[in-house]
Amino acid sequence: MSIDPRRTRRGAPGRARKGLLAGAAALAAGALLVTGLSAQAGAAGTSLKALAEAKGIYFGTALTQGNLSNSALTAVASSQFDMVTPGNEMKWDTTEPSNGTYNFGPGDQILSYAQANGMRVRGHNLVWDSQLPSWVSSLPSNQVQAAMESHITTEVTHYKGKLYAWDVVNEPFNEDGSLKQDAFYKGMGSGYIADALRTAHAADPTAKLYLNDYNIEGTGAKSNGMYSLVQSLKSQGVPIDGVGFESHFILGQVPSTMQANMQRFAALGVNVAVTELDDRIQLPATSANLAQQASDYATVVNDCLAVSGCVGVSQWGVGDADSWIPGAFSGQGAATMYDNNYQPKPAYNAVVTALGGSSTAPPTTTPPTTTPPTTTPPTTAPPSTGAAGSCRVTDAVNAWNTGLTENITVTNTGSTAVNGWSLVFTLAGGQTITSGWNAGYTPSTGRVTATNLSYNGTLAAGASTSIGFQATHTGNAAAPSSFTLNGVTCTG
């Protein structure tokens, strides 16, 4: 996708944006949670990827570098998905932050994880107007083409023969179906897209080459613009293999024309793929919301299965805990098939059924506890004087140029319940919290106290709670080095 938690418009964040950004940081969990999750996630008797492969498609997810240290998340990712899209690690601001200086380390980590777990990789992305270093936008128009071609050639060559596909140009369209007037268009005109595709093909003739965008899932002005572009590219003999439908949906709003739209693109001789699927809900989610979400997910999968040219479906992120949605859309979340603890939701069961499996995973009858990010600390329940006997904290940071998200899991490892808690930690210099969820945070810089909310103040012995925040930084995106829960230093 092309989203990241920074992006707040109707598509996914830059895929970190879609990161991802999509596209947000993942929560870590203990070995007992991983064991329980693996059992539940596979309760359908077989995995999503096995069911999808039996139907001739793939079922993928998006991962960021920070996700790889989250054992609960990776337990689901490796067992359930067979395709990986990097949330931010192959975007221009990561791979070529300054002219001619390349950094493939983060992307290589995603690739290594995928290879170790028998998963293929969709490269995301080569040319995009977002998450673009300022040096590119500042180039004189007559230097843009050389910079773009050099970037594409260098990155695609680095990964030559190792990736299934590339999102060569990401989100090139305005909502009215016109091309964005970005640095590439201003420097090269509309021909920049054909040039990007030809350059990528020359660097790796085996990789599938895609154009990727959001709000093109149903018929309309934007999808018509994409259709006309693909039609023109095909008539010119430009190497294009597919179109990615990001599919960042709002609950109950999957377009009724999605299958027909997929079919008309496939008729042009290109593949189609659902590349960044999520389905966001106004929080708190209700049982009715989750039932509708299950229906939405099943509709998308069935639409893909009905079109011979649809090669696969990828969810943007693994679970609600690492979804970019809460950080980008105030008051919304719970957008994936797995809840904040990576337990399967009704949408998971619906997808299993759509893929021809028989799901026995128990549906979530109580909506997962999720609160929207807020820039003003929410009303908190006062902590009690009861101290934690012992505690464990795991956290994961997902950072980009000047921002980050951090997800924290707190586990009461003592033998008695904690009734009311405060978690204290010190932010790295230059970090400032801008929004948070599942706790109140004060102050926003320096030594921070995160205090429970009214619904998560009790931590039974062995129980965990997940909190998190979005912050800006001035260069140091490191996680806090230590945490104390009600005055007791936690392991982690």
Other CB atoms within a 10 A radius of the CB of residue 98 amount to 10
User: H or E segment at 5?
Assistant: none
DSSP string, 31-47: HHHHHHHHHHHTTTSS-
Nearest alpha-carbon partner for 327 in 87, 39, 82, 77: 87
Burial of 87 (0-12, 13-18, 19+ CB in 10 A): buried
Please report, for the chain, how many H helices and E strands are present, in that order. Answer: 14, 21
How far, in Å, CA of 361 to CA of 240, rounded? Answer: 40
In what side-by-side order are the strands of the sheet with 403-412? 391-399, 403-412, 464-472, 432-437
How far, in Å, CA of 362 to CA of 359, rounded? Answer: 8
Specify the DSSP class assigned to residue 177.
Answer: S
How far, in Å, CA of 349 to CA of 396, rounded? Answer: 28
- Confirm if 105 and 112 have CB atoms less than 8 A apart: no
How far, in Å, CA of 42 to CA of 210, rounded? Answer: 32
As given in the structure block, the two tokens for residue 458 are: 């009790």
Residue 200's alpha-carbon distances to 2, 18, 104, 165, 210, in angstroms, are 18, 21, 17, 10, 10
Nearest alpha-carbon partner for 159 in 100, 197, 200, 190: 200
Q: Tell me which residues are annotated as active site.
A: 171, 276
Other CB atoms within a 10 A radius of the CB of residue 134 amount to 11
Peptide bond into 443 cis (omega under 30): yes
Helix or strand or coil: residue 241?
coil
Residues 6+ apart with CB under 8 A from 405: 5, 24, 25, 327, 397, 398, 468, 469, 470, 471
How far, in Å, CA of 128 to CA of 192, rounded? Answer: 11
